[in-house]
Amino acid sequence: MNRSEQKTLDFRFPWVDRVRQAVTTYSKDAPALIGVSGGVDSCALLHLLRMLGFSKLIVCHLNHNLRGIESEQDSLFVAGICRSLDVPFYSETLKELPRTGSMETAARAARFDFFARAAKKFETSSLFLAHHADDQIETFLFNLFRGTGSFENATIKAESIALIGDQKLILLRPLLQVCKEELREFASAFHLESREDVTNSNREMTRNRIRHDLIPEIERLIDRPIKATLLRTIELAEKEGEFVRAHVPAFHTKELSVPELRRLPVAIQRRAIHGWLRSNLIEDFGFEEVEAVRSLLNRERVAKVNLPRSVFCRRRSGQLFLEFPLAHKNHAL
């Protein structure tokens, strides 16, 4: 894209410059995976990254096999996009979802296993995902109501690391400041085709109820839009979180010193424990689990607390340590 085309693009879609800034530190000439479901979000991201000069993208599409012929048609649709763009296409079809937790949790675990296999095959750790501002808001509310250690912990990160077995994935989300409606306008302007997943309106999924029911009802009750306000809150939480993290000791170890933790202010204790659990790849924990671990600092009689997925935190000889089940496989955010 030449400079004139860039100016035209930025004039029509001012948010593109924010995306350009978000990807400025990533190599455009190195292989990178991109998850493409066939929906407007991921199709727009694929075309935008190519317009911004990313020349070695590998499209990854997992057929969850949940919607029969529609799922197969999604795969064929994405394969067709890749042929027209001359982009490598990597796809798998699930026979069934793993039987772990909710359907949403199982589908997510299956996707990350799939992405890990793709990363190993194409010898890259970079993975672009099309989460956008609406996803950020819904996730923030979901995590806030579920219970989280801080506002910052409730947000989707623009860059994060996932460890799937021995495979490292660097998750890159450059659309977190772009609303879905803006992506639809972009797709329409460039005549990009996409497919709508009917499960996005399935009220059985918690996130869909937040999207279709909770947010509109809050806006109706207070008679004003809330998305822009929530996005500002999220940005403030992230910046304040950066400041607090600078004062939190890094505990990338298998054990935590109880005396050392006791000397810290409560707010820093919570942050340190949260970071320690994440560095040890503990899943599905929130504020209650952090507080349970923190209770071991002062409760002499209780020397063990339960964590999700049959993991225990124990205290012995002034140290906190984790015990995992024998068959233990981690997926970390």
pLDDT in tens, 6-39: 887 888 999 999 999 999 999 999 999 999 999 9
Segment of 20-29, 101-110, 142-151, 282-291 carrying the highest mean pLDDT: 20-29
Q: Which of 207, 239, 274 is the last residue of a domain?
A: 207
Q: Are residues 23 and 116 in the same domain?
A: yes
Q: Are residues 195 and 267 in the same domain?
A: no
Would you state the structure tokens that stand for residue 205, as one six-digit string?
Answer: 């999924």
pLDDT in tens, 177-215: 999 999 999 999 999 999 987 777 778 788 889 999 999
Q: Please report which helix (H) or strand (E) contains residue 81, including its range.
A: helix 69-85
Q: Are residues 274 and 199 in the same domain?
A: no
Range of the domain at 34: 3-207
Query: What's the CATH code of the domain at 175?
Result: 3.40.50.620
CA distance 50 to 56: 9
The DSSP line for 157-213 is PSEEEEEETTEEEEEE-TTTTS-HHHHHHHHHHTT------GGGG-TTSHHHHIIII
Domain count, the chain: 2
Query: What's the CATH code of the domain at 298?
Result: 1.20.59.20
Q: Which of 168, 191, 207 is the last residue of a domain?
A: 207
pLDDT in tens, 70-92: 999 999 999 999 999 999 999 99
Segment of 110-114, 248-252, 325-329 carrying the highest mean pLDDT: 110-114
Report CA-CA distances (Å) from 169 to 69, 125, 173, 229, 291. Answer: 31, 5, 13, 31, 29
Q: Are residues 37 and 130 in the same domain?
A: yes
Q: Are residues 97 and 199 in the same domain?
A: yes
Burial of 207 (0-12, 13-18, 19+ CB in 10 A): middle
Q: Are residues 19 and 164 in the same domain?
A: yes
Q: Are residues 46 and 187 in the same domain?
A: yes
Q: Are residues 270 and 201 in the same domain?
A: no
pLDDT in tens, 154-183: 889 999 888 888 899 999 999 999 999 999
Q: Are residues 291 and 202 in the same domain?
A: no
Q: What are phi and psi of 124, to 5 degrees?
A: -145, 155
Residue of 132, 131, 140, 130 whose CA lies nearest to 229: 140
pTM: 0.80
CA distance 278 to 333: 8
Q: Are residues 73 and 129 in the same domain?
A: yes
